[in-house]
Amino acid sequence: MKSIEGPLNALLTRLTGPRALIEHQAFHKWRDVVGEKIAAVTEPEKIVSGVLYVRVRDHVWRNELMMMSGELVEKYRTLMGETVVKKIRFI
């Protein structure tokens, strides 16, 4: 059975532009970047102009993640090979 990922990505790129597809992929890699424990208390909301907005369960986690944001941005660079996520805002 063939995967539809290639043709689907090509269609999405044509319809929305290459940047939108890359941002979509980054959005869905959140769990890979932060791991299960942090993913359980967070939910990515949107990416706007390289800023990833992430909803956090409570202020304690929010403060902890704010201190880790530089490290998380670097993990995105390593994982995706691009500067798709330039900053992370925890809300």
Domains with residue ranges and CATH for the chain: 5-90 (3.30.300.180)
User: For 19, phi and psi rounded to 5 degrees?
Assistant: -65, -40
Which pairs with CB-CB distance under 8 Å and at least 24 residues apart come from 80-83?
Answer: 80/22, 80/25, 80/26, 80/29, 82/22, 83/50
Structure tokens at 30: 């959140």
Where does the chain show beta strands of DSSP type E? Answer: 42-48, 51-56, 87-90
Span 22-80, pLDDT tens digits: 777 888 899 999 999 999 999 999 988 889 999 999 999 999 999 999 999 999 989 88
Span 13-22, pLDDT tens digits: 565 556 666 7
Model confidence, pTM: 0.76
The residue whose two tokens read 């979509």 is: 24
